[in-house]
Amino acid sequence: MATATEEPRTRHDAGARAGTPAISLEQISKAYRSGGEDVQAVRGIDLRIEQGEFFSLLGPSGCGKTTTMRMVAGFESPTSGTVRLHGDDVTGVAPHRRDVNMVFQSYALFPHMTVFDNVAFGLRRKREASGEIRRKVAEALELVELNGRERTKPGRLSGGQQQRVALARALVNRPSALLLDEPLGALDLKLRQAMQMELKRIQRDVGITFVYVTHDQGEALTMSDRIAVMNGGRVEQLGTPAEVYERPATRFTAGFIGTSNLLSGTVAGRSGEVATVRIEGAGEVRASCDAPAGARVDLTVRPEKIAMEAEEPAGDRARLAGTVTEVVYLGSATHYTVRLGDGSEVVVFRQNASDAASAAERGETVWVSWRPEHAYALPG
């Protein structure tokens, strides 16, 4: 979390600037010199993050998401471009004078201080009145549901409780934006999932803009209003969780967000927004596509959108024959891998219903099928 000092921050009245984004990044780039070579960490990013939005920067390690967030916080200076908070250019403003706070994966709590003193630390540095400090700390602890823990030391708290203290300390000053750098990474799976819901609740309650950095697709899909999918220092796709999942714009997004099947083929013909795509050695299927006849495309279709049957399905469903090569039982669902005639493989997710007779075995010949609108063509 950015440390508060006696020097006042640059505050922003969001209500006085209706329509102005909370955070704007304009052609932001960042280059480093490492091992005698230039490393381009961020490459000309433009982003507009709205007031009160839960916005996630999602991507693999080294994609530039943390560097981007640190430039918003002021801990890194961009090589080029402009950072704006509520319309004000803060590119050269020191971190402690920006009206944002940052929460890290390590929590950064003071182990010798109580929960109350940790949360009150920044307020005391600003020399606020003791009565105001007590009121604000009480409100912050109530928000994160840690009432009654004021005199507890961090070492006696669970990981999830320590994360709540870090959140309370970051929120106690009510910054215009809260920046969270993989804050749940140190928690076990069940606690991480529970904290995702808590973070979303807290964000709704306070109405503050949250910018969240993660490599976990599930976290981003669960909590975000919008997601910027990053790769190689660039934004591959920007959209709502449904948009980036259902309509990936690039092969990278299709492969990184959840599980997706990619089938390479050629557009054989088209009718309106639906095209017939020839998968060499496997057959022809229909899919949503705006590419012209003869174009090479990659079809992407999610495993849960695919049906698997022993007999060839009727109707206008896209369908291909194949052989089951892998069966993985996961409790609520079974994952099947089906090898098609061209040697490519399709993954199918099937919910485990009560009728075990519908299960397929390795070596069986099956038909995989989907509705044409559930497959989406990317440029090949």
- State yes or no: pLDDT of 105 exceeds 90: no
Residue 153 within a domain: no
Calculated CA dihedral for residues 86, 90, 93, 94, nearest 10 degrees: 60
Neighbour order of strands in the sheet with 37-49: 37-49, 23-34, 80-85, 88-89
Q: What is the pLDDT of residue 198?
A: 86
Looking at the structure, tell me whether residues 72 and 219 fall in a common domain: yes
Residue 304 within a domain: yes
Looking at the structure, tell me whether residues 288 and 212 fall in a common domain: no
The reported pTM is 0.86
Where does the pLDDT of residue 88 fall: very low under 50, low under 70, confident under 90, or very high at 90 and above? Answer: very high
Looking at the structure, tell me whether residues 203 and 265 fall in a common domain: no
d(CA 119, CA 135): 12
Residue 141 within a domain: no
Q: What is the pLDDT of residue 324?
A: 97
Looking at the structure, tell me whether residues 348 and 369 fall in a common domain: yes
3-state secondary structure the chain: CCCCCCCCCECCCHHHHCCCCCEEEEEEEEEEEECCEEEEEEEEEEEEECCCCEEEEECCCCCCHHHHHHHHHCCCCCCEEEEEECCEECCCCCHHHECEEEEECCCCCCCCCCHHHHHHHHHHHCCCCHHHHHHHHHHHHHHCCCCCCCCCCHHHCCHHHHHHHHHHHHHCCCCCEEEEECCCCCCCHHHHHHHHHHHHHHHHHHCCEEEEEECCHHHHHHHCCEEEEEECCEEEEEECHHHHHHCCCCHHHHHHCCCCEEEEEEEEEEECCEEEEEECCCEEEEEECCCCCCCEEEEEECHHHCEEECCCCCCCCEEEEEEEEEEEECCCEEEEEEEECCCCEEEEEEECCCCHHHCCCCCCEEEEEECHHHEEEEEC
Looking at the structure, tell me whether residues 187 and 225 fall in a common domain: yes
Where does the pLDDT of residue 65 fall: very low under 50, low under 70, confident under 90, or very high at 90 and above? Answer: very high
CATH number where 15 lies: 3.40.50.300
Which of 207, 224, 255 finishes a domain? 255
At 289-334, the pLDDT tens digits run 888 889 999 999 999 999 999 999 888 888 999 999 999 998 889 9
- State yes or no: pLDDT of 38 exceeds 90: no
CATH number where 371 lies: 2.40.50.100
State the chain's mean pLDDT as an integer: 88
Residue 219's domain comprises 2-99+175-255
- State yes or no: pLDDT of 352 exceeds 60: yes
Residue 118 within a domain: no
Return the percentage of the chain with pLDDT > 90, whole number: 54
Return the percentage of the chain with pLDDT > 70, whole number: 94
Looking at the structure, tell me whether residues 289 and 182 fall in a common domain: no
- State yes or no: pLDDT of 55 exceeds 70: yes
- State yes or no: pLDDT of 124 exceeds 60: yes
Looking at the structure, tell me whether residues 192 and 288 fall in a common domain: no
> For 154-175, what is the mean pLDDT?
88
Looking at the structure, tell me whether residues 199 and 287 fall in a common domain: no
> For 179-202, what is the mean pLDDT?
85
Q: What is the pLDDT of residue 380?
A: 67
Sign of CA dihedral 115, 118, 122, 124: positive
Q: Which of 8-12, 125-129, 308-312, 366-370 has the lowest mean pLDDT?
A: 8-12
Residue 120 within a domain: no
> For 153-176, what is the mean pLDDT?
89
Candidate ranges 28-37, 227-236, 355-364; pick with highest mean pLDDT: 227-236
Looking at the structure, tell me whether residues 200 and 221 fall in a common domain: yes
Residue 299 within a domain: yes
- State yes or no: pLDDT of 355 exceeds 80: no
Number of structural domains (the chain) is 2
Q: Which of 139-148, 184-193, 354-363 has the lowest mean pLDDT?
A: 354-363
Residue 80 within a domain: yes
Closest Cα to residue 317, out of 340, 279, 285, 278?
285
Looking at the structure, tell me whether residues 248 and 305 fall in a common domain: no
Which of 227, 255, 283 finishes a domain? 255
> For 353-368, what is the mean pLDDT?
80
- State yes or no: pLDDT of 175 exceeds 60: yes
At 2-31, the pLDDT tens digits run 333 344 455 554 444 668 999 999 999 999
Looking at the structure, tell me whether residues 250 and 267 fall in a common domain: no
- State yes or no: pLDDT of 358 exceeds 80: no
* Residues 58/47, Cβ–Cβ less than 8 Å: no
Residue 117 within a domain: no
Q: What is the pLDDT of residue 1?
A: 40
At 238-262, the pLDDT tens digits run 999 999 999 998 999 998 998 899 9
Looking at the structure, tell me whether residues 228 and 266 fall in a common domain: no
Which of 230, 255, 280 finishes a domain? 255
